[in-house]
Structure 1
Amino acid sequence: MNSTLRRTVVVTTAVSIALGLAACGKAGGSSSSSSSSSSSGSSGSQVIGLLLPENQTTRYEQFDKPLFEAEVKQLDPSATVQYDNAGGSAQQQAQQVQTMINQGVKVLVVDAEDATQIKSSVEAAHAKGIKVVAYDRLAEGPIDAYVSFDNEKVGELQGQGLLNALGSKATPSAKVVEIDGDSADPNAAYFKKGFQEAVAGKVDIAYDASGLWKADVAAQKATAAINQLGASNIAAFYSANDGMAAGIVQSMKTAGLSALPIGGQDAQLDAIQRIVAGTQAYTVYKAYKPEADAAAQLAVDLLNGTSISSVATSTSTSLSGDKAPSDLLPAVLVTKANIKSTVVQDGLWSVNQICTADYAAACKADGLQ
């Protein structure tokens, strides 16, 4: 499949299927089977294992899982997908990998809860001849392929979004509170690097802490920053993703700072609604379908012994020094100005989903209705 075409063509019906399947999904750290999943007793002859890291971020169960399963089914009807979610536990994910190894799956697609801790699991799979695709996060160990976004560029987009939102208030003395992701996720370091390079010398990062990808932790860190710096001295907040932004916005509201710029990433529905309402300035949209499609193509190609060179056109090196053929996709900065031409046009969220009763007036003012 042409990689450029795959990245740019959005199949709205597939997203609709994803939403429907997600409604039947099963959250949590236990096994979650779907209509395309094999039974626990499968011999693994044509089985692809899909392991996702957590379910606090809405994207995994609502989009990544059903989109991946649908694309695998389309590419190879004889293949089945065995699915599990780690529920935020690296130990749970290690057990899930071992279970799938024991079941004899041929390919593992893994979004690592902890990219370093999973190395031994990747090595164990590799020793059994199982191909491993790192999904979204570059796991350590002998990875056969990797698909994600240009995550340093994502951080740069976040930085530019913050500077744009600050406008003339973006000065070297403007104090910004930075809440990063979990250091166990290698992407968090890329986001941070890109963000800090984009704003270097233009604002003052006066407080920097990890929110661990959790809204409640991010809220606590934001409150600590407000107490330390003083509410009146803060110009803006940076959140590494939309889930944490939700918690930070609550802390801002409590401190009377709801008018200050804050951004995130993932284009979650609640974040788009906050952008419409003016309580979040921007998000970064990383289209789930092209990423899931690329992962499915890589997995099916590896399953069938087909070359992956047409999909994985670049190379990435993990923290363990292992190199992996890679497909790195582009991301888009989303503000009020382009909600309609991005997430709505792509079918990620409909106007009806965004413009519920609480947001109807703001949607009308923003030209969404």
Structure 2
Amino acid sequence: MAVEERGAAGPQRLVGAEGDYDDQQLEASLRPGTLDDFVGQQRVRAQLSLVLEASKLRGRTADHVLLSGPPGLGKTTLAMIIAEELGVPLRISSGPAIQHAGDLAAILSSLTHGEVLFLDEIHRMSRPAEEMLYMAMEDFRVDIVVGKGAGATSIPLDLPPFTLVGATTRAGLLPGPLRDRFGFTGHLEFYSVPELELVLRRSAALLDLAMTSEAFSEVASRSRGTPRIANRLLRRVRDWALVHGVERIDARAAGAALDMYEVDVRGLDRLDRNVLSALVGKFNGGPVGLSTLAIAVGEETETVETVAEPFLVREGLLGRTPRGRIAMAAAWEHLGLDVPDHAAFKDPALRTALSTEPGSADRGSTGSGSDDASSA
């Protein structure tokens, strides 16, 4: 059984944090409307609540807000809650959609007083639009250039006070001048299993779905710490129960449904397991170069590096070193294999490399240079 759903933008992994059209429709009905209803992220919620309450007491627009973190953790939901808590309209756009300064000027000039402007993936805006945004955020005005060459004229345009909410999955790509203009920055963390159970209980109640506590725990444990994935898996479990005539879903039914979609007990799907199996079975645990590993599993290097690796590294199943990728002890154990004495992670030099932050040498391993040569 395939583990992919096909949406408007192409195939989607069942355990991928990116959302498709159906996910957006489902999330719209499941999204909380207030900070009190929002599950998890207690630190960010408390800080954001203070910022919003202070702005209402001052009678002024709230400071600009930057939300960062992996996809699927609730950045868009928090932007909607900010507008709801402030009682103002919400305007939604995205960085990739703003490729010219004129695009941003058109959006800013149509804002009303106090309106919240949400820019998703703000780090992907064009540089001219970024530079226009600096002045808009700080002075609430923009300069529009009319004409070209010596006859060009700059026309200042005053803007009503507004609140910009930016969301990014890669905060490091934001230029310093833009990042410094946000009055509040919140980083969203992955959810724990108990927090995901609360998310699932709320979603199941809205979907009128009967489940046992053990079933909620089963789905939450396979959701990779991401509410969006949890809700997607819940939908698949609901479909399985509907087809099989199960009125009350228990842990066995939830496990059977997710096993059918090849999502295992740790949340790994077919691609994740193929990467680990190739690393352990074909290369004795590594080290092996990224491009060699990608060829072994029949995928593009970008797919292995950006889709499979982040979760495998976070779970301690795979290690990234200057000499290549290696299988950690947990990878052997997860595949039901004994950890061999020659396992690569036991090499003192590789242990030292694992204890340091991956740098340029690690990024260079995506090519076919010495990294791949070491695995030949």
TM-score after normalising by structure 2: 0.31
Larger radius of gyration: 2
TM-score after normalising by structure 1: 0.31
